[in-house]
Structure 1
Amino acid sequence: MKTIWMTFFMAMLPVVELRGAIPFGVAAGLHPLTAMAVAIFGNLFPVPLILLLLRRVFRWLRHFPRLGALIGRLECRAHLKGRMVRKYRILGLVLLVAVPLPGTGAWTGALVADVLDIRMRTALPAIAVGVVIAGLAVMAMTCGVAGILR
């Protein structure tokens, strides 16, 4: 049970997300499908909060000079990553989240959706589909590299 919770919380982390949580869970002894399911739920858990609260948090952080500059850089990065999302809307958001590379994922997808004013009822399902696709890809890579499929 401890491994399941560790995998869940690891998937919630912004940089690690499920790209690190699935290999961790499998290496810790979880069945690959269990590791993937737990990582998907863990990765999706903070997304509604990000979509609901990000603008308020950013507005508050802008009151601090150094943090305001950081927020500006994050928004600039989101606009750059959002080019594909702007062009293809929902499909672009799904693909941004689904590609299992650094700088993509649920956190980045939620940031881009918020910066581009994509409503939560549209963004949340698109991000969820992208997370599931990424989970399947990472699980396949993990099982292929580890040479297992129990």
Structure 2
Amino acid sequence: MIPELIVFFTAMTPFLELKLAIPVGMGLGLSTTTIFLFAIPGAILPGAIMLALIGPISKFLRKRSKFMDNFFEKLFSKTRKEHTKRFNKYETVLIIILIATPLPGSGTSVAALISFVFGVDYWKSITLMLTGTIIGAMLVTAGFGSIFKILDLLA
């Protein structure tokens, strides 16, 4: 398979995203620019698709199932009641930091769920995802670049 596509599809891996795709790209000998050009869209795509589909799917489920209607009602009312004030205050920074933090489970899919629960506008969410993903890509690249340099020195 083409190395660039390996990076793109690896970045789509849930919960690992850039944290896996960037070191894979480095291991394949790709340039940082090439890795960014394929890893960033790969990391954003699942979150963007999830964000676009989760609203219509939840509406469909709520209409068809009393259980799902109760589930979503409790989820929205409890979460929004307890966290809306703080979320609205830090919304932009929170989503960017959540995505940029290079820890498993801190990517665009989780940000899409949070954006959905709190009713963040789709395009605003996509912009925040892009910003967080770019920052995260820089952090992961710096971290793994340093590790690979140290390993080269030791070898």
TM interval, short-chain normalised:
0.7 to 0.9
Could you say which residue in structure 1 is the equivalent of 2:44? 44
> Pick from 141, 144, 148: which aligns with 1:142?
144
Could you say which residue in structure 1 is the equivalent of 2:12? 12
Structure label with greater radius of gyration: 2
1:54 pairs with 2:60: no
**What's the offset of the Cα at 1:82?**
8.8
**1:23-63 Cα deviation digits (max 9, x unpaired):** 01111221223212211111112332211101333456689
> Pick from 119, 122, 137: which aligns with 1:120?
122
TM-score, normalised via structure 2 length: 0.75
How many residues matched? Answer: 140
Q: Is the 8 A contact 1:86 1:92 kept in 2?
A: no
Q: Alpha carbons of 1:26 and 1:108: their partners in 2 closer, same or farther (altered >3 Å)?
A: same
**1:51-88 Cα deviation digits (max 9, x unpaired):** 1101333456689x9xx7xx88xx69xx5999974440
Could you say which residue in structure 1 is the equivalent of 2:153? none
Q: Is the 8 A contact 1:84 1:92 kept in 2?
A: no
Structure 1, unmatched stretches of 5+, are none
The residue identity in structure 1 corresponding to 2:32 is P
Cα-Cα RMSD: 2.9
Structure 2, unmatched stretches of 5+, are 151-155
CA–CA distance in 1 between the matches of 2:37 and 2:83?
27
Q: Alpha carbons of 1:127 and 1:84: their partners in 2 closer, same or farther (altered >3 Å)?
A: farther
Q: Is the 8 A contact 1:36 1:139 kept in 2?
A: no
Q: Alpha carbons of 1:131 and 1:87: their partners in 2 closer, same or farther (altered >3 Å)?
A: same
CA–CA distance in 2 between the matches of 1:33 and 1:85?
34
CA–CA distance in 2 between the matches of 1:83 and 1:147?
45
TM-score, normalised via structure 1 length: 0.78
| Residues 54-63 or 25-34, more deviating | 54-63
**Greater helix share, 1 or 2?**
2
CA–CA distance in 2 between the matches of 1:105 and 1:47?
8
Q: Percent identity?
A: 29
**What's the offset of the Cα at 1:108?**
0.9
Q: Is the 8 A contact 2:14 2:105 kept in 1?
A: no
